């Protein structure tokens, strides 16, 4: 009986933590997507900039 109550409490705590994310699913999805996009943009930016610098220095007399 005690284990059952503990399981219920754990489930309630987990649900209490997860529910706001479920409730605001569009916001959560938007934030996650934004984060992924910003990481991709930063990575692409540094990579491109490095390539451009190499390209410029390669053809300098």
pLDDT digits (tens, 9 = 90+) for 8-32: 898 988 988 888 888 888 888 999 9
Report whether 14 contacts 7 (CB < 8 A): no
**Mean predicted lDDT score pLDDT of the chain:** 85
Alpha carbon 22 to chain centroid, angstroms:
16
The three-state secondary structure class of 60 is coil
State the Cα–Cα distance between residues 1 and 53, nearest whole angstrom: 68
Over residues 54-61, mean pLDDT = 76
Give yes or no for residue 46 having a pLDDT over 90: no
Answer for the pair 31, 38: CB distance below 8 angstroms, yes or no: no
Q: Output the pLDDT for position 32.
A: 92
Q: Which residue has the higher pLDDT, 30 or 3?
A: 30
What was the pLDDT predicted at 35?
A: 93
- Distance separating the N- and C-terminal Cα atoms of the chain: 82
């Amino acid at each position: 009986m005690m284990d059952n109550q503990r399981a219920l409490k754990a489930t309630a705590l987990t649900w209490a933590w997860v529910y706001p994310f479920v409730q605001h699913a569009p916001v959560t999805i938007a934030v996650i997507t934004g984060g992924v996009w910003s990481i991709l943009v930063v990575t692409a930016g540094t990579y491109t900039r490095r390539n451009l610098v190499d390209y410029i220095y390669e053809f300098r007399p």
